[in-house]
A and B are shown apart, each in its own frame.
Chain A
Amino acid sequence: MTAAFVTVLIAMLGGAIRVSTPFMFVALGECLTEKSGRVNLGLEGTLVLGAMVAYAASYHTGSPWIGVLAAGVAGSALGAMHGSICGLPRVNDVAVGIAMMLFGIGLAFFFGKPYIQPTAPRLDSIPLGFFVDDPSLKSALQVNPLFFVGIAIALALAWALRNTRWGLIVRTVGDSAPAALAMGISVNWVRLLTTTVGGFLAGVGGAFLSLSYPGSWNQGLSSGQGLMAVALVIFARWNPIRCVYAAMLFGAAGAIGPSLQSIGITQGYYFFNAAPYILTLAIMIATSSATHAARDMPGELSMAK
């Protein structure tokens, strides 16, 4: 019993690292976008398109890192589209997000059909478990470099938001558009830029899905990770560092199903697979309030009010 429990724990640790990476990238992108006072619900579509573009680019060029870059560029394009549409007066950013989600998924499925069969070169993982003998721990410690890239981006983002002129501009735009206007800042330009960069990060998160874990392109690759990441940002109270912790927690929840399967518990597989959704909902219920806005929330944010 104890052995099985340890196996599950180790598998969950490995799973938390693997599954959390796309969450982390999408959450960081969304965090930046929301810091400027806009919500992009379309990141689910960006994630799927990023996964498909990365796989296709990696297949054609033979270099997975070009795939990662291509996914980022595709994500930026979708982000720029969302950012510029929402810059028009009287356009609702949440609704546009839903539309962009359908559009991104549609594009990914349309162009992705020929890439379901072939195998593209994947991103290599760093074997950090070289000092242990236990094979399951060894495989759990196969960490993808993108995981560390994500943490580095989180640190850089947290530092830049707090300490740089650009960070101040983004936070001003997010907290009070009139104040930003009075300072002579173009609110729409800043939001366009943050949405574009947010789209880039979400695209890279998608690249992780198709090039590392699960590591292939198919139509069922992402099921709501992009959306859960939006909820995760609320939970992380718009702080990039806390986004990383929250992503790890969600990764662990997402790894429960596969971990239990690895020791032969298949009963209730679908139920455990729904764990991340249930966790997200539970967290949202626990952290939201009907009477006042969430703590640290950017003042211009249209949702969660």
Chain B
Amino acid sequence: MSDAPAVTSPAPVLQPAGAEATRSDWVERLRASSEYVAIPVFAVAVASALFALFLLAVGKSPADFIAYVWRGGFGTAFSFQNTLQRSAPLILTALAVAIPARIGLIMIGGEGALVLGGFAAAALAIPMIGVAPPMLTLILMAIFAMLVGGFWVGLSGFLRYARGVNETISSLLLTYIGIAIMNFFVEGALRDLSNPNKPSTKPLGDAYMVGKIPGTDVHWGFAAGVFLCVLLYLLLERTTFGFAARVTGGNYRAALAQGLPVGKLIVTCSAIAGACAGLAGFFEVAAIQGRANASLAAGYGFTGILVAFLARHNPLVIPPVAILFGGIVASGGLIQRRMDLPDATVLVLQGLIFVVLLTSETLYGRFAFFRPRARRDRT
């Protein structure tokens, strides 16, 4: 498992060279960890500059672009709530990438788990509508979505462990298969024939939808996402399970030699990842769409990959990054209308940020400024 992705390594352990070094211990610590903020921010700045040049090259104004992203994504209370709404699936699909990344796997199957989870939730709800109470239905839907999503990505993890199948390719293949499974049922057995426009399952109906967080226009998926980020951060950083997972991600052979249950760890981490993406699908169905159809495959799973990498696979950093990208996604429509740019503009920007960000991996450890003083003096 030497193809481990760039996982946030803990800040270099300081070895104070003497009594005088302990005094500024926390300053050094801060300086060393600021590298993990400074370089991604620098990468985003470079990508934005390149994107500005790209816009100039096609004859559009970068200033307008920024103004519309601000207006469409963050400027007003309405647009900011819309942004939070859109960041909910991004938080959950980013977790679906970040958790396996900590154990050394590049899983990109979040889109498939989202689609299948959402579809499974809708399929479970159809016979329960009008029979079971809404609260019970929604809870069962969420659990079922997480189970299905967890199974789907867990399968990639299992194949990786048991058969050595490359998890990046298998998870993306499972995404295509998952979307095909949903289309198969939505256009066949479970199609709502009273809706001739777009093949969909039967609608859930207003009584069976997830409500908004009181006082806002944002559905509960956002709160669930933030809660899961904190929970999974604690799981990774403060439990033996998380420690074992990080050891496996850091050095697979060492983990094996230590007798860690590597297979269980890999499958569990993958299943947790899939469950997060499945939950995203549940909220897309039960809070936004109201039914399952092809719009579930809206690309949230792919943007989530970028969010996870930008957050350096740290669950606590995922929400702010997801909100940033949620805003960019949310302003896509406005940009499309006002600036006469195709909707793929956002995709170009995301691709650029992603490429530059990964290129910036090479900068870590190159700047003396970020190095602890004790070590710097010795070199």
A92 near B: Cβ within 8 Å? yes
B169: chain A residues at CB < 8 Å are: 41, 227, 230-231, 280, 284
Bitwise, B337-359 to A at CB < 8 A (1) or not (0) is: 00001111101111110110111
Q: How far is the CA of A223 from the CA of B305 in the complex (A)?
A: 18
Residue of A nearest to B3 (CB): A302
Residues of A in contact (CB 8 Å), total: 52
A interface footprint on B86-115 (CB within 8 Å = 1, 0 otherwise): 000000000000000000001010000000
Question: Within 8 Å CB of B306, what residues of A?
Answer: 99, 102
The answer to whether A91 and B359 have CB atoms under 8 Å apart is: yes
List chain A residues, Cβ under 8 A from B1: 305
Chain A residues near B359: list those with CB within 8 A.
85, 88, 91, 96
Contact of A277 among B3, B161, B176, B184 (CB under 8 A): B176
The A-contacting residues of B in range 283-302, CB under 8 angstroms, are 302
Write out the residue numbers on chain B whose beta carbons fall within 8 Å of the beta carbon of A228.
173
B253 to chain A, nearest CB (A): 12
Closest to A278 in B: B177
Check B345–A110 contact: CB distance below 8 A: yes
Cβ contact within 8 Å between A98 and B168 = yes
Stretch at the interface among A139-147, A150-158, A246-254, A265-273: A265-273
With the chains together, A108 CA to B354 CA distance in Å? Answer: 17
Contact A41 B355 (CB under 8 A): no
Residues of A within 8 Å of B176, CB to CB, are 223-224, 274, 277
Q: List A contacts of B351 (CB < 8 A).
A: 99-100, 102-107
Residues from chain A with a CB closer than 8 A to the CB of B44 are none
Question: Residue of A at shortest CB range from B101?
Answer: A95
* A290–B3 touching, CB < 8 Å: no
Interchain CB contact (< 8 A) of A288 among B166, B174, B181, B357:
B166
- Does B159 have its Cβ within 8 Å of any Cβ on chain A? yes
Of residues 95 through 141 on chain A, the ones whose CB sits less than 8 Å from some CB of chain B are: 95-96, 98-100, 102-110, 113
Instruction: Classify chain B: how many residues form its interface, as a range.
Output: 35 or more
CB distance from A107 to the nearest CB of B (A): 6
B355 near A289 with CB under 8 A, answer: no
Residues of A within 8 A of B168 (CB): 41, 94, 98, 303
Given A98-B108, A274-B176, A305-B358 contact (CB < 8 Å): no
Chain B residues with Cβ below 8 Å from A278 are 177
Question: Judging by beta carbons under 8 Å apart, are B354 and A99 in contact?
Answer: yes
In the bound assembly, the distance between CA atoms of A113 and B341 in angstroms comes to: 10
Contacting residues, chain B, for A230 (C-beta < 8 A): 169
Bitwise, A280-294 to B at CB < 8 A (1) or not (0) is 110011001111000
Interface centre among B3, B5, B345, B364 (most CB of A within 10 A): B3
Residue of A nearest to B302 (CB): A102
Alpha-carbon gap, A105 to B349, bound state (A): 11
Chain A residues, Cβ within 8 Å of B364: 90
Q: Are A94 and B347 in contact (CB under 8 A)?
A: no
Within 8 A of A (CB), among B23-65: none
From A95, A269, A271, A288, B5 is in contact (CB under 8 Å) with A95
Cβ of B170 within 8 Å of any chain A Cβ, yes or no, is yes
CB proximity of A270 to chain B, nearest CB, Å: 4
Least CB distance from A87 to B in Å reads 10
Let me know if B19 is at the binding interface, CB within 8 A: no
Q: Could you tell me the distance in whole angstroms from the C-beta of A275 to the nearest C-beta in chain B? A: 9
Output the nearest chain B residue to A108 by Cβ-Cβ distance: B344
Name which of A95, A106, A271 has the most chain B CB atoms within 10 A of its CB: A95
Which residues of B (186-232) have their CB < 8 Å from a CB of A?
187-188
CB distance from B169 to the nearest CB of A (A): 5
Q: Is the CB of A288 within 8 A of B173?
A: no
Cβ A305 vs Cβ B162 within 8 A:
no
**Pairs A–B under 8 Å by Cβ, sample size 18:** A88-B359, A90-B361, A91-B359, A92-B6, A94-B5, A99-B357, A103-B351, A105-B351, A106-B350, A106-B351, A109-B343, A270-B180, A277-B177, A278-B177, A284-B170, A290-B162, A302-B2, A305-B1
- Given A103-B348, A271-B184, A284-B159, 13 additional A-B pairs, CB 8 A: A81-B355, A91-B361, A95-B5, A103-B355, A106-B349, A227-B173, A270-B181, A281-B170, A281-B174, A288-B159, A288-B165, A303-B168, A305-B3
Closest 10 CB pairs of A and B: A103-B351, A109-B344, A106-B347, A274-B180, A99-B354, A88-B362, A106-B348, A270-B184, A290-B164, A102-B351
